[in-house]
Amino acid sequence: MKNIIKLIVNESKNETRIDLFITKERKDLSRTRVKKLILNENLKINNLIIKDPSKKVSTGDKIIFEIPEPKKVSLKPYNYKLDIVYEDDDLIVINKFSGISMHPSVGNYDNTIVNALMNYNSKKLSNIGDELRPGIVHRIDKDTSGLIVIAKNNLSHENLSNQFASHSITRVYQALIWGKLRPQHGKIETLITRSSKNRQMMAVGISKGKKAITKYKTLEIFENEKVPTFSLIECRLETGRTHQIRVHMSHKGNNILGDKKYKKKYKKIKNIDPILEKYISKLDRQFLHAKVLGFVHPKTGEHLEFSSNLPNNLNDILKKLRNSNK
């Protein structure tokens, strides 16, 4: 059954955006979800369908907002061992391995984290939003590893979505980049939009796009005659745009090692350590890892924070670089 919400705008809410008005009246709904439902023609103001989430309401406006019943979809379970860091009745924290996509999409409907969750416990996942993404509150790229949180019910999903939307979630990544960042510590603040040259890529926008903020600091620099110059960096996300860290590092001219999409041509290094060269040539992913994830538990209000070690193949490269620096 549809859930129909009926509201009347009082004088104190005059000239408020309709998406903000609804989320303030119904704190169990995330603004992202409200926007999507408005765009899908689930809103009437004074019996007229409104598809603009930014429309401002007036005193006395009669609001009818429909929340459709979640669609049922058949997802094939995938027998894949999940690395579960934490679980309770409301959420699951998973340490995602590289090489697996978050959810079904064109070309891969079966071998994803969502399919693995269906195999693990299909009956305890949130079912709001996209029917191909039960439980999915946020995403990390296929060839990125690290921590993600999964919602097991709709209240948790809405609460966590609101935390992501308000940028209160702690998200810390580690990456190995080519060269050295200048300055070594700082903040990158740009717009990020879809690339005009390749629609599968993102790019820094000049006049259009969504605001993207990455705080970074250099942890270690590796530089001598037998290795290319690399820097191990830490990135803290204030926003979570698609490919944000990868785009920002590419924009700085310091691409992430192993990033095939945002790669840059470098001169072949003479006399490079053969073992290091072997590790680098065998790397089938970008050197990017979601190391820390922190948030407020949607039911208890307790602040939770989790940390994940770098995978072995990334650690092997770091060990070799550290040895070469001695």
Strands 91-96 and 145-151: antiparallel
H/E run at residue 250? helix 244-252
CB of 158 closer than 8 Å to CB of 33: yes
What amino acid is encoded at 153 in this protein?
N
Could you report how far apart the first and last alpha carbons of the chain are, in Å?
Answer: 67
Tokens of 276: 């290091």
Give which of 17, 21, 304, 307 is closest to 163, Cα–Cα: 304
d(CA 35, CA 162): 13
d(CA 283, CA 85): 25
Catalytic residue among 19, 61, 141, 259: 141
141 has catalytic annotation: yes
116 in helix, strand or coil?
Answer: helix
d(CA 251, CA 46): 47
d(CA 324, CA 114): 41
Strands 288-296 and 145-151: parallel
Would you please indicate which residues are annotated as catalytic (active-site) residues? Answer: 141
